[in-house]
Amino acid sequence: MSEEEVCQKFPKYPLWLTGDEKPTMKQLEKFAAQTFTPLGYFFLNEPPEERLPIPDFRTLKDRRLARPSPHLLDTIHAALLRQDWMKGFLIEQGEPALGFIGSRTLSDQPEEVAEEMRRTLALEGHWSRALPTWEEALRLLIKKIEGIGVLVMINGVVENNTHRPLDIEEFRGFVLSDSHAPVIFLNGTDAKAAQMFTLVHELAHLWLGKGGVSDFQELIPSDNAVEIFCNQVAAEFLVPAHEMQTAWKEVKNNPKPFERLARFFKVSPVVVARRLLDLKLITREAYFSFYNSYQEAAAERRNQGAGGGNFYLTLGSRLGYRFPAAVYGAAREGRLQYREAYQLTGLSGSSYDRFGKELGFTI
Ranges of each domain in the chain? 3-43, 63-238, 312-358
Check if the beta carbon of residue 178 is closer than 8 Å to that of residue 239: no
Alpha-carbon distance of 265 to 272, in angstroms, equals 8
Q: Which is more confidently placed, 169 or 201?
A: 201
Q: 24 pLDDT band (50/70/90 cuts)?
A: confident
* The dihedral sign for the CA sequence 112, 220, 99, 345: negative
Amino acid at 193: A
Please, which contacts does 60-68 make with residues 24 or more away whose CB atoms are closer than 8 Å? 60/170, 60/215, 61/169, 61/217, 62/169, 65/167, 65/169, 65/170, 68/170
The closest alpha carbon to 204, from 170, 171, 238, belongs to 238
Average pLDDT over residues 21-25: 78
Alpha-carbon distance of 250 to 293, in angstroms, equals 24
> pTM of the full predicted structure?
0.85
pLDDT at 51 (0 to 100):
83
- Looking at the chain, the whole-number percentage of residues with pLDDT higher than 70 is 87
pLDDT at 283 (0 to 100):
94
Check if the beta carbon of residue 251 is closer than 8 Å to that of residue 260: yes
For residue 249, pLDDT beyond 80: yes
Contacts of residue 46, defined as CB under 8 A and 6 or more positions apart, other chains included, come to none
pLDDT at 273 (0 to 100):
92
Alpha-carbon distance of 346 to 78, in angstroms, equals 10
Alpha-carbon distance of 154 to 167, in angstroms, equals 13
Q: Which stretch, 9-13, 43-47, 335-339, has highest mean pLDDT?
A: 335-339
Q: Count how many Cα atoms sit within 13 Å of the Cα of residue 102 in the half-sphere of its side chain.
A: 11
pLDDT tens string 64-79: 556 888 999 999 999 9
Q: What are phi and psi of 104, to 5 degrees?
A: -125, 160
Average pLDDT, the chain: 86
Average pLDDT over residues 340-358: 89
Task: Look at strands 212-214 and 157-158 and give their pairing.
Answer: unpaired
pLDDT at 305 (0 to 100):
56
Q: Which is more confidently placed, 233 or 311?
A: 233
For residue 109, pLDDT beyond 90: yes
The total number of residues shown for the chain amounts to 363
Q: Which stretch, 82-96, 151-165, 249-263, 336-350, has highest mean pLDDT?
A: 82-96
The closest alpha carbon to 155, from 61, 78, 52, belongs to 78
pLDDT tens string 222-232: 678 999 999 99
pLDDT at 38 (0 to 100):
66
Output the CA angle 265-105-216, nearest 5 degrees. 50
Alpha-carbon distance of 36 to 13, in angstroms, equals 16
pLDDT at 286 (0 to 100):
93
Q: 337 pLDDT band (50/70/90 cuts)?
A: very high
Check if the beta carbon of residue 117 is closer than 8 Å to that of residue 236: no
Across-strand partners of 158? Answer: 161
Provide the b/e sequence for 155-176 (b: ≥16 CB within 10 Å): bbbbeeeeebebebebbbbbbb
Across-strand partners of 56? Answer: 213
For residue 338, pLDDT beyond 70: yes
